[in-house]
Amino acid sequence: MRGTALYLLGRGGQALLVLWAAFSLSFVILYALPSDPVSIMLNQSGEQSTVNQQQVAALRAQYHLDEPLAVQYGIALWHAVQLDFGNSIQSGQPVSASLAEALPKTAALALVSLAVALVLGVSLALVASLTRRRWPRDLLLGLPAVAVSLPTFWVGLLLLQWFSFGWHWFPAMGNQGFASLVLPTLTLAIPTSAVIAQVLARSLAATARLPFVDALRAKGLSPLRVLLTHVLHNAVIPILSLSGVIVGSLLAGSVVTETVFSREGVGRLAQGAVSTQDIPVVQGVVVLAALIFIAVNLLVDLLYPLLDPRIRGAAR
């Protein structure tokens, strides 16, 4: 019990450190940019020529942009600790409200993409492992390397050209209905499934060479049963180790995907905030992404002992 409490305390400290680092790094990068968010806002709204310097100064004071950098950082960090990221400089809407509105749309896209990626990646790895002839197996194992090298935006544009503009099967943009989710899902799932297939295929091959597999085959178990009931259970652990990377790639890919398909979500919100130097929104997105990353890694740590008895025994 004491060991569990110490572990959770340590992970909590690590989580706070990651959140602080993500917040601080985004703050420094955004404030190092030469442009001014207030000027960008006024230029976009067409009010730059009609607003005098006193009004500009008042807007800068409203967002504490007239304070020294250290003071701005202290104010922003104090409000962030209270989960208050203020209002968007560009829209004036509370950052928390913008994130709450955008997050369900991105979460739906990410979860469906992850499910499709798991089906594609695991299926490809299993089929390649069951294939005995060398050239078909090498061909199947070579597909993930090709898919990983494809840029996300290029995959999205290619799917748009074929299935939307060419054959008119799916809408080209928007968030309306299941049909609008198909092409963005494939855009995110293809590179993610390639990573899963690469790692799982290697893990399956390594696990299949272990002595217990030879013993199971000697007992007369079929290759398919050995693979699905024994080898796969042990080979899936490296995929869990990559969960943080996979979630990170889905979050990063959502920025490109939602931009290509004109979908509302956290990715497009982040892209617009960065282009307009909307500091509160960017920092809210960064902290949200860090929280998701931390939660996924903590969940993986808790699942490890359930999948690997050796880890469970070491924990005792």
Residue range 206-215, pLDDT digits in tens:
888 888 877 8
> pLDDT at position 125, please?
86
> Cα–Cα distance between 241 and 200 in angstroms, integer?
11
> pLDDT at position 223, please?
79
Question: Which range in 41-50, 54-63, 241-250, 277-286 is most confidently predicted, on average pLDDT?
Answer: 277-286
For the cut 60, the answer to whether the pLDDT of residue 118 exceeds it is: yes
Q: What is the pTM of this model?
A: 0.77
> pLDDT at position 55, please?
67
* DSSP codes, 225-277: HHIIIIIHHHHTHHHHHTHHHHHHHHHHHHHHHHHHTT--SHHHHHHHHHHTT
CA distances from 128 to 119, 135, 206, 247, 260 (A): 14, 10, 14, 25, 33
How high does pLDDT run on average in the chain? 79
> pLDDT at position 222, please?
80
Percent of the chain with pLDDT over 90: 1
> Cα–Cα distance between 190 and 113 in angstroms, integer?
9
Residue range 233-287, pLDDT digits in tens:
778 777 877 777 787 778 778 888 888 888 888 888 888 888 777 888 888 888 8
> Cα–Cα distance between 316 and 3 in angstroms, integer?
9
> pLDDT at position 305, please?
66
| 29: confidence class by pLDDT, cuts 50, 70, 90 | confident
φ/ψ of residue 114, rounded to 5: -65, -40
> pLDDT at position 180, please?
84
| 147: confidence class by pLDDT, cuts 50, 70, 90 | confident
> pLDDT at position 2, please?
63
> pLDDT at position 40, please?
67
